Amino acid sequence: MQREVIGIDFGTTNSGAAFIEFDEPTIIENSENERVTPSVVYFKDGKDVVVGSAAKRNTIANPDRTVASIKRHMGTDHEVRIGNESYPPEYVAAHIIKKLVSDAEKRIGTPAPDVIITVPAYFMDSQRQAVKDAGEIAGLNVRGILNEPTAAALAFGFQEDDERKILVYDFGGGTFDVSVLTIGGGFFDVDATSGDNHLGGDDIDSRLEEFIVDKIKEKHKIDLTKKKGGNRALLQSLREEAERVKIQLSDKERATIHLPYLSKNGRGTPIAFSYTLTRQEFNELIYDFIERTRKPMQQALDDAALHPDEIDDILLVGGTTYIPAVQEFVRDFFGKEPEHRIDPIEVVSLGAAVATLKDGVKEKERSEGIRRPVEISDVISRSIGVSVADGTVSKIITRNTKIPITQTKPFTNAGDYVDEVIIEVHQGESLYPEEDGYLGEFWIDIEPKPVGESRIDVTFEIGEEFGILHVTAKDHDSGNERTVKMEAVGRLTKGKKNKWMRKMLKTHAIEVIVENIDTRDILNYYLNPSASIGDVRKDLMKKGILSEGMSIFYDDEELDDKTLVRDTGIEDGSALELR
């Protein structure tokens, strides 16, 4: 049976899944017959975990055991406290991803251990790796990480023959992204991307909640932010009411905020709250959030060397783009109507499915219905450089540079007669090292010389593979040269990731020793049970321990590329030979 590859849109507010059916990207409904799944996880007493609409319905009754918007914490040290347990964001996210795929497998009747997961274009490498780790904790083989705006462009233009310039305006629940692409004939060329990882629909909800809290305080002299005892359920009711009113104002000019019970007065009578909010009042309340999208949008256009008039199509992505004021803002900026052919909530899932047609992702046959394979040319979304003596970061590759790319920049010694220098690599746009932007470091020996007389060339090489940067430092005087491969590293160690996989699935990644018989190189390696031996081969080649034409052997038997790791009988502590 052929292994299906599922496209996953892991969203802040909602998530979705899609696959290719009859040469068309198709949304896969979940077990509740819904086309999107709320990104909410409810940890029931005991070991049961509920995801989606059922979890969301439990938010008011069990706010201390329900988790929402976990995507905003990916790649951070945030811990979710449930009872006496603490969970990392990757574990919580894994439950969302697992539900999507489990429901999808039941719908399509085919095993689907392989996935492509989308992330905001402006995510740091550490955040991207955290999402990949979540997929692996869920027992899946993550075949690719895809930028959300690129996914939207794929869904919109996979059958487009003529070349067009498009801009994707992606205003989701937790992040804002904008990308400019050239599409046509099955090619998707990312020209520029920008964004704001701290701007989303959640911020609009919070602003509306604050507004309601202020109105309650003004009318009833009740301060919900200071009220003690049983307040979490009341605040959660307020959040749900704020979300409902926000959605209602997308279709109506006014909506009534109604909270039936706040407290009791001195006579024991229940106190209720009601307020009619107009769309105009709401627009004024959130105007600054919408205006904040202007700078990233203009930055992406500038980096792509384009004027708004040169954009052929504008795609609106994410639930926040349903707000009429957002649509009006985009319309005014470009002087034209955005596209409305694809649902902003579903477009990223559909595009992730189209991305499975990219060469090398899965076996496929050519047909007339859809252009195969899809070709995607991307850019780096964040600048990369090295820290220098004054504490700043000197950029070597700037944001929105096409990849693959190799770039070199000369440096010198900052002190007299030093015999070694540190090459410390950072990601981000700030003049100084950013939080979560550290990628790695290494030392290189140099010829001792007076300050400013050494020449040390630092070269960055980025291929098309996610999260891999080759850094080379060369001292011209001594001839010393050192190259280090820096890979995106998740916050979780392999051991921690295994712990959470074991807790969730009662299985774990298999720890083995890999030895190249020719070179005698040895590597401690973790095998994903859901990966095929072909996937393992590709990864070992990326790591430089396996050469073209070599085979993987276990117990003197050559392993077939199509075999799943879980079916090989390989156990912890086993040895694999490359020959």
Query: Is residue 504 in some structural domain?
Result: no
Residues 133 and 57 in one domain: yes
pLDDT value of position 366:
46
Instruction: State yes or no: is 362 an active-site residue.
Output: no
DSSP 476-532: TTT--EEEEEEE---SS-HHHHHHHHHHHHS--PEEEEEEETTT--EEEEEE-TTSB
Helix, strand, or coil here: 246?
helix
Q: Is residue 145 part of a domain?
A: yes
Q: Would residue 133 count as lying in a domain?
A: yes
Chain centre distance of CA 165? 24
* Interval 475-495 mean pLDDT: 89
Residues 411/388, Cβ–Cβ less than 8 Å? yes
Q: Looking at 351, 377, 403, which one is the last position of a domain?
A: 377
- Told to judge if 241 belongs to the known catalytic residues of this protein, a careful annotator would answer no
pLDDT tens digits, residue range 503-545? Answer: 998 888 899 999 999 988 899 999 999 899 999 998 898 888 9
CATH number at residue 251: 3.90.640.10
> Domain holding 405: CATH number?
2.60.34.10
Backbone angles phi, psi at 144, to 5 degrees: -170, 155
Indicate whether 400 and 424 sit together in one domain: yes
Per residue in 18-55, pLDDT tens?
999 988 999 999 999 999 999 999 999 767 999 999 99
499 within domain boundaries:
no
Question: What pLDDT does 227 receive?
Answer: 59
Which CATH number covers residue 522? Answer: 3.10.20.90
| Residue 296 pLDDT exceeds 90 | yes
Say yes or no to pLDDT of 371 above 50. Answer: no
Looking at residue 455, its pLDDT comes to 96
pLDDT at 169 over 60: yes
CB 118 within 8 A of CB 146: yes
Written as one string, the DSSP assignment of 328-355 is HHHHHHHTSPPB-SS-TTTHHHHHHHHH
**b/e string for 327-359 if b means 16 or more Cβ within 10 A?**
bebbeebbeeebbeebbbbbbbbbbbbbbbbbe
Q: Give the model's confidence band at 491: pLDDT under 50 very low, under 70 low, under 90 confident, else very high.
A: confident
Domain stop point among 226, 258, 287? 287
Q: Is the pLDDT confidence value at 367 over 60?
A: no
496 occurs within a structural domain: no
Strand order of the sheet with strand 176-184? 313-317, 164-171, 176-184, 187-196, 375-377
Residue 133 in this model has a pLDDT that exceeds 70? yes
The mean per-residue pLDDT over the stretch 328-352 comes to 95
Task: Indicate if 58 and 158 belong to the same structural domain.
Answer: yes
Between strands 313-317 and 164-171, the pairing is: parallel
Residue 246 and residue 339 share a domain: no
Q: Report the Cα–Cα distance between both ends of the chain, in Å, rounded.
A: 29
89 and 183 share one domain? yes
- Interhelix angle 494-505/89-108, nearest 10 degrees: 50
Q: Of 170, 177, 241, 243, which one is the catalytic site residue?
A: 170
pTM: 0.89
Does 71 share its domain with 120?
Answer: yes
Q: Which residue has the higher pLDDT, 375 or 96?
A: 96
- Rank 35-39, 240-244, 459-463 by mean pLDDT and report only the highest: 35-39
Average pLDDT over residues 139-145: 93
pLDDT score at 360: 59
Helices (H), 73-124: 89-108
The pLDDT tens digits of the residues spanning 85-95 come to 999 999 999 99
Question: Does residue 495 lie in a domain region?
Answer: no
- In terms of domains, do 166 and 69 share one? yes
Give the separation between CA 246 and CA 257, rounded to whole angstroms.
10
Question: Residue 494 falls within a domain, yes or no?
Answer: no
Q: Are 421 and 448 in contact (CB under 8 A)?
A: no
Band (pLDDT 50/70/90 cuts) for residue 228 is low
Residues 142, 19 share a domain: yes
Burial level of 392, CB count in 10 A (0-12/13-18/19+)?
Answer: middle
Cis peptide before 404 (omega within 30 of 0): yes
Do 160 and 131 touch, CB atoms closer than 8 A? no
171 & 139 share domain: yes
Strand partners, 315: 168, 339
Q: Which of 377, 394, 409 is the last residue of a domain?
A: 377
Span 70-78, average pLDDT: 94
Residues facing residue 166 across a β-bridge: 181, 313
pLDDT band at 373 (very low <50, low <70, confident <90, very high): low
pLDDT number for residue 331: 97
pLDDT above 70 for 488: yes
DSSP state of 161: -
9 as an active site residue: the answer is yes
Helix (H, G, I), strand (E, B) or coil at 261: strand
pLDDT confidence tier of residue 361, bands split at 50, 70 and 90: low
- 216 lies in the same domain as 153: no
| Distance between CA atoms of residues 576 and 570, nearest Å | 9
Number of structural domains found in the chain = 4
From residue 198, give the alpha-carbon distance in Å to each of 67, 204, 541.
Answer: 19, 12, 37
pLDDT of residue 407: 96
One DSSP character per residue, 362-374 reads S-----SSS-SSB
The catalytic residue among 4, 9, 203, 313 is: 9
DSSP secondary structure, 418-430, as one string: -SEEEEEEEESSS
* Residue 34: active-site member: no
Q: Could you tell me if 463 and 564 lie in one domain?
A: no
pLDDT of residue 23: 85
Q: Cβ atoms within 10 A of the Cβ of 259, count?
A: 17
| Residue 12 within a domain | yes
Which residue among the candidates 4, 90, 103, 148 is catalytic per the annotation? 148
| Domain encompassing residue 130 | 5-199+292-377
Tokens read off for 89? 């964001």
One domain for residues 304 and 273:
no
Is the model's pLDDT at 370 over the cut of 60? no
**Residue of 4, 56, 71, 177 with catalytic role:** 71
> Of residues 465 and 380, which shows the higher confidence score?
380
